[in-house]
Amino acid sequence: MIRSKLAVAAVLALAGVGLVACGGGSEDAGGNGALKIGTEGTYAPFTYHDKATNKLTGYDIEVAEAVGKKLGRPVQFSENTFDAIFAGLEAKRYDVVANQISITPERQAKYGFSDPYTVSTGVIVTRAGDTSVKTAADIKGKTSAQSATSNWAEAARQAGAKVEAVEGFSQAVTLLKQGRVDITINDNLAVLDYLKTSGDKGVTIAAEIGEKTEQAFAFRKDSPLVQQFDQALQSLRADGTLATISRKWFGQDVSGPAAR
């Protein structure tokens, strides 16, 4: 009987050790393991696969890698559709999201954000030759192709447009050119890059919409990584790394002002 009790105690002790081991190495523990980063992987020029090498690349990818290097931690990217990224963050499949996430009051209520590393503005894209849109007021009653939970979808709704849910910008442009939707709204940098690299003459920028927005890394609320990323971004801004990455992708520094 004594031996049985001792055996049970030993098993429980080992189980306790196992539970501690499983709980270790999290971001809250301040470890130096890989940073798990959620991203879309289909949103050029921010996060996408190079056609020649199939390697995940883009502006956001390079900024995230630079932050990881500053923190002395390897980065591990996990790809998913935009609408599933935040669910993955909340489920702790990722530590952080790097996908041109705009800082909005609604998102700030639910998530933590780093200092911004991009400043941009929204644009309304129409089919070439469509002169019906000259200002944001002109999209009322039109149908806009958007990722359902993106800030651009909300901008479309606020301007009175109906939203047709799509998985990303490429699908939005396809529906637009097919005449199945009237417009799509997106970041000016993404649209300019698309027009430059694709040579697509079938769509055009018709107007700007909204004020300038700031994009940043997104975290679970109260994550200790927010402060760490802010410090790394401040260092990358000071040593010129952010400006260099920006000019590589856009020909100008789009990383915005210093920390707020």
Question: pLDDT by residue (tens digit) across 150-165?
Answer: 889 999 999 999 999 9
Two tokens, residue 21: 């081991």
Question: Which CATH architecture describes the domain 120-213?
Answer: 3-Layer(aba) Sandwich (3.40)
Residue 260 pLDDT > 90: no
Residue 11 pLDDT > 50: no
Residue 8 pLDDT > 60: no
What is the average pLDDT across 115-131?
96
Question: Which CATH architecture describes the domain 33-119+214-250?
Answer: 3-Layer(aba) Sandwich (3.40)
Residues 205, 191: contact at Cβ < 8 Å? yes
- What is the predicted pLDDT for the residue at 31? 62
- What is the predicted pLDDT for the residue at 197? 83
Dihedral sign computed on CA atoms, order 248, 252, 255, 258: positive
Question: Does the predicted model carry a pTM greater than 0.95?
Answer: no
Contacts of 213 (CB under 8 A, 6+ apart): 102, 103, 119, 120, 121, 122, 151, 187
Residue 3 pLDDT > 50: no
What average pLDDT is seen over the chain? 88
Two tokens, residue 190: 């993404």
Task: Give me the count of residues in the chain.
Answer: 260
- What is the predicted pLDDT for the residue at 24? 35
- What is the predicted pLDDT for the residue at 83? 85
Rg (CA), the chain: 22
Q: Which residue has the higher pLDDT, 79 or 193?
A: 79
What is the average pLDDT across 64-92?
96
| Least confident interval from 4-8, 131-135, 184-188 | 4-8
CATH topology identical between 33-119+214-250 and 120-213: yes
| Least confident interval from 57-61, 142-146, 203-207, 209-213 | 209-213
Two tokens, residue 62: 């390079």
Q: What percent of the chain has pLDDT over 90?
A: 73
Question: Where do the structural domains in the chain lie, given as residue ranges?
Answer: 33-119+214-250, 120-213
